[in-house]
Structure 1
Amino acid sequence: MTQINEVTTLTREGDIAVVTLNSPPVNALSANVREGLFEGFKAAIADDAAKAIVLICDGRTFIAGADITEFGQAPKGPGLHEVQAMIEDAPKPVVAAVHGTALGGGLEVALVCHYRVVVPSARMGLPEVNLGLLPGAGGTQRLPRVTGVEKALEMMTSGRHASAKEAHESGLADAIVEEGKLLEGAIAFAQKIVADNAPLTKIRERDDKVAGARGKPEIFEAFRKSIARKTRGFLAPEYNIQCIEAAVNLPFDEGMKVEAKLFRELVTGEQSAAQRHVFFAERQVAKIPDVPKDTPQIDVKSVGIIGAGTMGGGIAMNFVNAGIPVTIVEQAQERLDAGLAVVRKNYENSAKRGRFPMEEVDKRMAMFTGTTNLEDLADKDLIIEAIFENMDVKKDVFGKLDKIVKQGSILATNTSALDIDEIATATTRPEAVIGLHFFSPANVMKLLEIVRADKTSNEVIATSMSLAKKIGKVGVLVGVCPGFVGNRLLAQRQREANKLILEGAMPWDVDRVLFDFGLPMGPFAMSDLAGLDLGWNKETSKGETLRDLLCERDRRGQKTGAGFYDYDENRVPSPSKEVEGIIRQYAEERQIQQREISDEEILERCLLPMVNEGYKILEEGKAIRASDIDIVWIMGYGWPRYRGGPMWYGENSVGLEKVLERMQHYEEKHGADFKPAAMLEDLVAESKKKAG
């Protein structure tokens, strides 16, 4: 065995040279790895006794991608293109032996090998689009040449990983070898290649799978239309498509120039910087400074849910999907039956969409136990209360649970705004009480705000964070305050949106500006979707608010065909002259002077108070990091990933100095709602001081 460098070795098995990488945890393409590959292949090529070369990786995976911590740094050692040229131009066959994942740059290395063998559990993909990028080492030119245009388009614009079976069927993998015997299988494959005198197949020289799409722009236009809604606002999917078009219509070297140009535009652009920020923020969010990693956790083998409504049923589905049985409690049998019927229908709809076999529906439903008896929760490891937002009712429930449920269980509330410290006072074990704030629909939305009360124990926090991951959620630890983090920021936007329409902007103006910014829906379209009559009562309505006036006219949202908007039979909205008249009259009666309001003012007044509120949250210690606030809004409220989250947007897109200046401007015009956070002022002052 020859030690090439600290991460690479070269051995020979008979007449097959084996280059082995071992750079934990995922063999990322760091400078060390690139150097090891370059020197390892150089030595293997120089070894006349070696008739072929196998590239394999130790550890749990093949090369899982680029080392993105090196982005923006001065390059060291051989570049990836140099390494690829060494491999691709080798005068003897090179076989990539793939286990785990070959992703991004890892797959681009495998694609310059002459052959690829995989184990059944291996996965392959080019997920750069998820970082606002495109494959920058020939992936855009080689993948369509080996899989065909349609599959390359789908894989590269989604970032999806292909299974070993799919890779083999598409030509991306040349053989599947037995699990656990990858090296033996790869060596045997290489020996057969040598014995058969098989050609050194360079993907760059292939044309058969792209020729059929040449001169057919309609293929690409149809694909663009098919993904337009999902990729709205993102640059990287379109740039990936343009690269594949180049692979189809240009010689390989010319296509590589297109790839290099578009890659540079993306990697130096704001969208990719934002998406890379989100990538790291998602991983950072699980790190809690004052809860040690080795904190013991509660073994949650059974869950009780109180409330079988929309939230309770959705929450319960998360645990059943993860294989944890649920007992669900309702006050009345008919409400319990109705709730479980909705759960069954949700599962049946998923089965019809092909997500799992129809027989799986009964298996999952068998993991639900319905009851009207709170005592049936006595032995459960985790109880989640998911009833309506009323402090007295919630405290009553927690008082009862305290007497019923075994010691050591977690007592959680799904409240979206109420004081969890006060709820905890209803028990004799406040250390067991925590907030688990799911977002609707709870079985779909990725965010879980985990709300730490003053006396919540580390064990309960650690268990909750771990459970979030187990049920497929992104758990973000926050503190107790009105609205916690997500809704506290939302309140800032809602307040300004409601003020703006009285000052002269129309609901559709506000919605358009925020939709164009990248949010999935504006506040007034969202209100119409949810229903304007949520919490409204016809008998007690006094016509004091715009909502009162709209509901009194039966403009209660999409369900009545009219709300802030008029709706046709397909629920397609259009601006309402009636609503415009109601708003103008309402403003006139309150002596609010209406005026023309620019899109810029709408955007600033809706978004900058959110950034400011984020700094207040950080001042108060109700979020651990600014990036945690970003994750809350990306995962729970549809903030576009390519804008990095509200805190990243404020700091990097707008600039904190401008945020402060605009807050001061609006404070002067509109009052204390715009008072800058002390932390914002301090950060700007510190930045100016550093700048000299």
Structure 2
Amino acid sequence: MAGAIRVTMEVGADGVAVVTICNPPVNALHPIIIQGLKEKYAEAMDRDDVKAIVLTGAGGKFCGGFDINVFTEVHKTGNVSLMPDVSVELVSNLMEAGKKPSVAAIQGLALGGGLELTMGCHARISTPEAQLGLPELTLGIIPGFGGTQRLPRLVGLPKAIEMMLQSKFITAKEGKEGGLVDALCSPDELIKMSRLWALEIANYRKPWIRSLARTDRLGSLSEARSVLNSARQQAKKVAANLPQHQACLDVMEEGVLCGGHAGVLKEAKVFKELVLSPTSKALVHAFFAQRLTTKVPGVTDVQLKPRKIRKVAVIGGGLMGSGIATALLVSNTSVVLKEVNPQFLQRGQKMIAANLEGLVKRGSLTKDKMNKAMSLLKGALDYSDFKDVDMVIEAVIEKIPLKQSIFSDLEKCMHTTLHTCNKHIYHRFEIFGQEDKFSGGIYRGTFL
């Protein structure tokens, strides 16, 4: 394998083979990497001078997950066979069931398929701040390299469900507390400690643990079903139209009822079905489209300096507007809250005060800071206080004529940035006004 994308293996005098994933910037699992891992693991298992294996990533990062570019090829062709067999052939058979122990040396990040590789190892050593997570559901799929089965067996069902269904990252320090990571160390000591740990497993001085065989963190069958049923109800509320959430829970349940290996097989089947789903196609497209917005030809951020935001006007004191105003006040930013009449203005101010009092009760804010925040809030019934604000945030109800009127009024009285918070993606900016009369202003939309 030529070029930057490769897998290397170095065998030390201690008999430990260090297998390194090299695919900058985040060591994504390109098919070349997958094939390289299979070859290096097969070689390590056959070599008499290798006693144990340490798996790591180059450049201070373990692995950022599967190469998403492969998904676009699958979506274009409909050929799911472009997805390499990782879950069974590599993770289960070569790594976890291998005759020589593997230890994952984690630094920087281990996400998606990267974290799944570590769970196929027999121990995980990490730097404390490394980021760990399984964010596959954000792409309309589920973890496909055994993650739906091994994560619950390492951290328990509730935490595993939280991490997968919410695509929540945790630090390795949190992972150590929850059972996902076996030990923490500094970056300088990472490989050394991992080598020693791998040798101790090989010499039976530390336990040789195959994650897929564990059941102690799953709880009783009735407990597991209760947790899964609760998760299903929650998923129906927050992700009713997203098939991957229920599919993920189905696959986890298969592993609980029929064993880890059965769960891995079902996971692989469901993964391939979801990859071809309209949801996955749309979310993968959105993933790349979002990144393209940061690479507009001829536009760079060279020599640009961020504008200092000291004072912000918020139009609308409802749930969204009062919440935005609260966040600004807590960050020591002055706020002008505008409403259409004194009653609505008073209601908005009371909601902000209640938000701040709630932060005090939870210990997130001191009483003094709450009083300071409230002193930065000013109510308004017209636009006279808008002339010196650095930004305007519009958060009124979803009525286009009302928004048109607001934009028209703002064009007459100010020159600044307008940030509009809309709930419906079908609003087009051109309907807010015939032309942008802001001499130095920006219309910016946030679709929620």
Is this a same-fold pair by TM over 0.5? yes
- Asked if structure 2 preserves the Cα contact closer than 8 Å seen for 1:101 and 1:122, the reply is yes
Are residue 417 (structure 1) and residue 411 (structure 2) matched? no
Correspondent of 1:343 among 332, 345, 352: 352
Give the Cα separation in 2 of the matches to 1:5 and 1:287. Answer: 23
Does the aligned pair in 1 maintain the 2:157–2:218 contact within 8 Å? yes
**Number of the residue aligned with 2:32:** 32
Match of 1:213 among 203, 221, 224: 221
The corresponding residue for 2:327 is 318
Is 1:328 aligned with 2:315?
A: no
Q: Matches of 1:326 and 1:31 in 2, distance apart?
A: 49
| Structure-2 residue corresponding to 1:435 | 418
Superposition deviation, residue 171 in structure 1: 2.2
Which has the larger Rg? 1
1:56 aligns with 2:62: no
Task: Output aligned runs, 1:377-456, within 5 Å.
Answer: 394=383, 401=387, 405=388, 410=390, 412=392, 414=394, 416-418=403-405, 420=407, 423-424=410-411, 426=413, 433-438=416-421, 453=436
Equivalent pairs, count = 421
Paired residue for 1:109? 117
Could you say which residue in structure 2 is the equivalent of 1:19?
A: 19
Partner of residue 201 from structure 1, selected from 195, 202, 209: 209
Q: Which residue of 1 aligns with 2:175?
A: 167
Partner of 1:303: 311
Indicate the residue corresponding to 1:232 in structure 2.
Answer: 240
Q: Contact 2:420/2:444 (CA < 8 Å) preserved in 1?
A: no
* 2:99 corresponds to 1:91: yes
Residues 309 and 333, structure 2, Cα contact 8 Å, conserved in 1 = no
Task: Tell me, yes or no, if the aligned pair for 2:359 and 2:365 is still in contact at 8 Å.
Answer: no
Partner secondary structure for residue 366 of structure 1: helix
Letter of the aligned partner of 2:326 in structure 1? M
Query: Is 1:126 aligned to 2:154, yes or no?
Result: no
TM-score by length of 1: 0.52
| Secondary structure in 1 matching 2:238 | coil
Q: Which amino acid aligns with 1:83?
A: L
The residue correspondences of 1:401-550 to structure 2 (distance < 5 A) are: 401=387, 405=388, 410=390, 412=392, 414=394, 416-418=403-405, 420=407, 423-424=410-411, 426=413, 433-438=416-421, 453=436, 457=440, 477=444
Structure 1 match to 2:253: 245
Taking structure 1 as reference, are residues 52 and 200 closer, same or farther at Cα in structure 2, changes over 3 Å only? same
Q: What letter corresponds to residue 86 of structure 2 in structure 1? A: L
Most deviating of 253-262 and 109-118:
253-262
Query: Shift of the alpha carbon at 1:121?
Result: 1.3
Aligned to 2:398: none
- Give 1:131-146 correspondences, 5 Å limit: 131-146=139-154
Worse overlay, 218-227 or 304-313: 304-313
Could you tell me which runs of 5 or more consecutive residues in structure 1 were left unpaired when the two chains were aligned: 373-385, 441-446, 462-475, 479-631, 637-692
Change (3 A) 1:216 1:163: closer
3-state SS in 2 of match to 1:241: helix
Q: What's the secondary structure of 2:161's corresponding residue?
A: helix
Kindly provide the CA deviation profile for residues 48-81 of structure 1, in whole angstroms up to 9, marking residues without a partner as x. 4333221112335321222122011665696423
Q: CA deviation at 1:230?
A: 1.9
Write the distance in 2 (CA, Å) between the matches of 1:421 and 1:226: 42
Is the deviation greater in 133-142 or in 227-236? 227-236
| Preserved contact between residue 121 and residue 163 of structure 1 (Cα < 8 Å) | yes
Q: How many angstroms does 1:349 deviate by?
A: 2.8
Residue type of the partner of 2:210? K
Contact 1:24 1:59 in 2 (8 A): yes
Which deviates more from structure 2 when the two are superposed, residues 93-102 or residues 186-195?
186-195
Cα drift, residue 25 of structure 1: 2.5
d(CA) in 1 for partners of 2:268 and 2:112? 15
